[in-house]
């Protein structure tokens, strides 16, 4: 029930905002998103942190331990609304609900026309995103996953910059196509379930996982690529990323923040929730390929960042680069990499979200994002500059701030994974030190482009556009409202950077469950024992037999 409330609050908020007068819209939206945040914090308190790997907030059948659906929609097809969260979902829900009120607060002066529509769609977007993380059955997951597109499409196409129509359509079509293919893969898994269970249907994630594990290696490979088609576009991974810089650049600030902060995580969350546990054999086989793609993305996008003049585009491309680390950690198939990757999802949401806020605040004052036109703002906006440098440092992965934890762990996980000596700290896995060594050069590239950005926008001689006039309502530097938007993010960056231990402990159980099968498969692929081939054959054989 708790999770349902978390989805319903923003929906109800959307309704209320829709019915309220235009002028009060922002305050009502703020109230409802704050309410959702309060509810999420309450849910976090209710969450049993002693068992973070157990799916919670789900009406539990204590006799069998099965999760029963909340609302059976089409029982004959096994379609239902069932919700539940483990710690990974919980953290992502908290991130989503935290960014909600901040986005509303950050849009107070930026959105001046069609205000109501804006907040209605923003609230709907939040509900959809919460739904993705809380869903325990495939249909609900997929509906929410796709439904995030519509609000985002509206936000970009109505409130974006000059090229917004093109960006919005491209964003929609690109990600929609990808997720259609992913749906095909998921439906295929459901089909497998139905074949095993004599025509009975279920879309419950746990049920489907059992079914998926019976698939042969070839089937798994097909499903892997189908799923990746959807999730890789969303992440986005290297060759399918081109919608992102465009969408980010054109989107309004709140849209960019949610896009970078949460929507990209739908991709990595999808990989975490579906790809790793569903198709372990294929993952073990293709992990190194996915890792190579991620590493190419890290460096390729990083270098592209370095030659940007549009500061928003720079940060957008930096997301492509950063999320490469995230996927890399996931396919390392070990605890450090997996937990680091989940940390990365949260941390990237905080620091890059905050960077987009900062850029939005600059844009509101100067109406330009070009580093050729503005520069040296430290002199004009010291408070803003402080936050800008701070979040840049978090993004660059400075130890002591949050970005470092995820980045270091993702890299260490990669390094450990399949280390030549399975010695003291090495683990079985598909990657190895060379992957980590190449990926780690991304740390240097990140320093290059982020300091290049800060060096031009924040430091150096003051440069303002010629046509620049002071904003009618905004002061030269940040006002109290804007500081309120950035301060919580900054505090969280420090807290998660200095004391991530509790969170890491809470990630142990779900990460272990998620990667178990793939890791097992990977260690059996290791060329050490002679009978490894037999083991695989046996597993596939078992799979066929049980069908």
Partner 1 sequence: MISVMQTIPATLASHAPAAAGAAHAPTAPGDSSAIWLILIPLLPLVSSILCGIYRAWGVTSKLPGYTTVLALAVSFIVTLTGYLSFGGAGVQIVHGFQWLNISWGEAHGQSLTANFSLYIDSLTWLWMLFVTGLATLIALYSTEYMSEDQKNGGYARYFSFFSLFVFAMSCLVMGDNLLLLYLGWEGVGLCSYLLIGYYYTKPAAVAAAKKAFIVNRIGDLGLALGMMLAFVEFGSLEFSEIFARVAEIQATVAAGGHVSWQIEAIPLLLMVGAFGKSAQLPLYVWLPDAMEGPTPVSALIHAATMVTAGVYLIARFLPLFALNPTSLAIVAWVGGLTALLAATIGMSQFDIKRVMAYSTVSQLGYMFLGLGVLTATGAAYHVFTHAFFKATLFLSCGAVMHGFAGQLDLRKLSGLRKLKGWGIVTLAMLVGCLCLAGFPFTSGFFSKDMILAEAFVTQGPGYQALGILALITAGMTAYYSFRVFFRVFCGPVEFHPSDDHHGDSEEEHEAHEDAEGHHGFHPHAPGWAINLVLMVLIVGSLAAAIPYFVDKENHGWVGGLVHDSTAGHLVLPTVAHGAEDAAHGAEAVAHGEGFWSDPHKWMYYVSGTIGFIGIGLAWLIHMTRRTEAATAPIADGLKNAMRPVSTWCERKWYVDEFYDIIFRYPLKILSHLFYLLDQLLVDGLVNFAGAVPRMLGRSLRPSQNGLLQSYAVGMGGGVAVILFIVWILL
With beta carbons less than 8 A apart as the criterion, state whether 351 and 493 touch: yes
Using CB atoms within 10 Å of the CB of residue 365, give its burial: 0 to 12 exposed, 13 to 18 middle, 19+ buried: buried
Q: Which one, 162 or 501, has the nearer CB to partner 1? A: 501
Query: Shortest gap between Cβ of 27 and partner 1 (angstroms)?
Result: 28
DSSP letter string, 414-425? HHHBT-SS--SS
Total residues found in the chain within this entry? 547
Query: Shortest gap between Cβ of 411 and partner 1 (angstroms)?
Result: 7
Neighbouring C-beta atoms of residue 296, cutoff 10 Å: 15
Between helices 501-525 and 532-546, what is the axis angle to 10°?
100
d(CA 34, CA 46): 18
DSSP 198: T
- From 516, 523, 337, 512, select the one nearest 428 (Cα to Cα): 523
Query: Shortest gap between Cβ of 149 and partner 1 (angstroms)?
Result: 10
Residue 28, C-beta contacts closer than 8 angstroms, at least 6 positions apart:
13, 16, 17, 20, 119
Q: Which one, 136 or 456, has the nearer CB to partner 1? A: 456
Burial code (b: 16+ CB inside 10 Å, e: under 16) for 37-71 equals: bebbeebbeebeeeebbbbbbbeeeeeeeebebbe
Query: Shortest gap between Cβ of 459 and partner 1 (angstroms)?
Result: 4
With beta carbons less than 8 A apart as the criterion, state whether 80 and 73 touch: yes
Q: Which one, 43 or 394, has the nearer CB to partner 1? A: 394
Q: Is the dihedral of CA 368, 370, 375, 378 positive or negative?
A: positive
Q: Which one, 41 or 437, has the nearer CB to partner 1? A: 437
Q: Which one, 40 or 454, has the nearer CB to partner 1? A: 454
Cis ω before 26 (30° cut-off from 0): no
DSSP 263: I
Query: Shortest gap between Cβ of 511 and partner 1 (angstroms)?
Result: 9
Query: Shortest gap between Cβ of 105 and partner 1 (angstroms)?
Result: 21
Q: Which one, 81 or 275, has the nearer CB to partner 1? A: 275
Provide the 3-class DSSP secondary structure of residue 470.
coil
Query: Shortest gap between Cβ of 523 and partner 1 (angstroms)?
Result: 13
Q: Which one, 99 or 478, has the nearer CB to partner 1? A: 478
Q: What are 299's two structure tokens?
A: 């460096």
Q: Which one, 17 or 362, has the nearer CB to partner 1? A: 362
d(CA 244, CA 147): 18
Which long-range contacts (C-beta less than 8 Å, at least 24 apart) are formed by 480-487? 481/105, 481/108, 482/106, 482/361, 482/384, 483/383, 484/105, 485/102, 485/105, 485/106, 485/357, 486/354, 486/357, 486/358, 486/387
Query: Shortest gap between Cβ of 320 and partner 1 (angstroms)?
Result: 10
Q: Which one, 13 or 442, has the nearer CB to partner 1? A: 442
Query: Shortest gap between Cβ of 327 and partner 1 (angstroms)?
Result: 18
Q: Which one, 147 or 303, has the nearer CB to partner 1? A: 303
Residue 139, C-beta contacts closer than 8 angstroms, at least 6 positions apart:
73, 79, 80, 203
Query: Shortest gap between Cβ of 144 and partner 1 (angstroms)?
Result: 18
Query: Shortest gap between Cβ of 59 and partner 1 (angstroms)?
Result: 31
Q: Which one, 104 or 301, has the nearer CB to partner 1? A: 301
Bridge partners of residue 427, in order along the sequence: 417
Q: Which one, 108 or 415, has the nearer CB to partner 1? A: 415
d(CA 255, CA 77): 36
Q: What is the phi/psi pair of residue 197, to 5°? A: -95, 35
Bridge partners of residue 239, in order along the sequence: none
Q: Which one, 67 or 411, has the nearer CB to partner 1? A: 411
Provide the 3-class DSSP secondary structure of residue 524.
helix
Query: Shortest gap between Cβ of 34 and partner 1 (angstroms)?
Result: 26
Query: Shortest gap between Cβ of 484 and partner 1 (angstroms)?
Result: 15
């Amino acid at each position: 029930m708790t999770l349902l409330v978390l989805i319903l609050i923003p929906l109800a908020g959307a309704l209320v905002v829709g019915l309220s007068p235009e002028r009060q819209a922002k305050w009502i939206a703020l109230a409802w998103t704050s309410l959702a945040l309060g509810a999420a914090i309450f849910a976090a308190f209710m969450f049993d942190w002693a068992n973070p790997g157990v799916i919670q907030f789900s009406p539990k059948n204590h006799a069998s331990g099965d999760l029963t659906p909340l609302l059976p929609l089409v029982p004959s097809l096994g379609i239902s609304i069932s919700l539940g969260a483990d710690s990974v979902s919980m953290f992502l829900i908290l991130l989503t609900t935290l960014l909600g009120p901040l986005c509303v607060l950050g849009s107070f002066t930026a959105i001046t026309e069609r205000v109501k529509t804006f907040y209605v769609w923003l609230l709907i977007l939040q509900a959809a995103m919460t739904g993705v993380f809380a869903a325990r059955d495939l249909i609900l997951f997929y509906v929410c996953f796709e439904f995030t597109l519509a609000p985002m499409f509206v936000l970009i196409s109505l409130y974006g910059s000059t090229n917004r129509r093109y960006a919005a359509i491209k964003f929609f079509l690109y990600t929609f196509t990808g997720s259609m293919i992913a749906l095909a893969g998921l439906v295929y898994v459901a089909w497998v379930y139905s074949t095993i269970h004599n025509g009975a249907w279920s879309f419950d994630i746990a049920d489907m996982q059992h079914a998926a594990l019976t698939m042969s290696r070839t089937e798994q490979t097909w499903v892997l690529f189908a799923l990746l088609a959807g999730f890789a576009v969303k992440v986005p991974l290297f060759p399918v990323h081109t919608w992102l810089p465009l969408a980010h650049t054109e989107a309004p600030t709140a849209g960019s923040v949610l896009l970078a902060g949460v929507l990209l995580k739908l991709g990595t969350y999808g990989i975490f929730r579906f790809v790793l546990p569903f198709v372990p054999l294929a993952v073990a086989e293709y992990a190194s390929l996915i890792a190579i793609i991620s590493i190419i993305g890290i460096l390729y996008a990083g270098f592209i960042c370095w030659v940007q003049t549009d500061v928003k585009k720079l940060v957008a491309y930096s997301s492509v680069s950063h999320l490469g680390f995230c996927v890399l950690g996931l396919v390392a198939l070990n605890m450090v990499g997996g937990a680091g990757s989940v940390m990365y999802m949260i941390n990237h949401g905080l620091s890059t979200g905050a960077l987009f806020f900062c850029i939005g605040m600059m844009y509101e004052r100067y109406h330009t994002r070009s580093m050729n036109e503005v520069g040296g703002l430290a002199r004009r906006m010291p408070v803003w500059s402080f936050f800008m440098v701070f979040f840049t440092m978090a993004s660059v992965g400075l130890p002591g701030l949050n970005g470092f934890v995820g980045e270091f762990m993702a890299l260490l996980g990669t390094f450990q994974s399949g280390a030549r000596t399975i010695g003291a700290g090495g683990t079985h896995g598909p990657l190895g030190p060379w992957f980590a060594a190449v990926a780690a050069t991304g740390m240097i590239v990140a320093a290059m482009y982020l300091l290049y950005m800060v060096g031009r926008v924040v430091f150096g001689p003051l440069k303002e556009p010629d046509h620049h006039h002071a904003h009618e309502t905004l002061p030269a530097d940040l006002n109290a409202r804007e500081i309120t938007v950035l301060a919580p993010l900054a505090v969280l960056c420090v807290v998660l950077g200095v004391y991530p231990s509790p969170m890491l402990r809470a990630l142990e159980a779900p990460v272990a469950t998620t990667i178990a099968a793939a890791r097992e498969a990977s260690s059996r692929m290791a060329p050490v024992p002679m009978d490894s081939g037999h083991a695989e054959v046996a597993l596939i054989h078992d799979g066929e037999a049980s069908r």
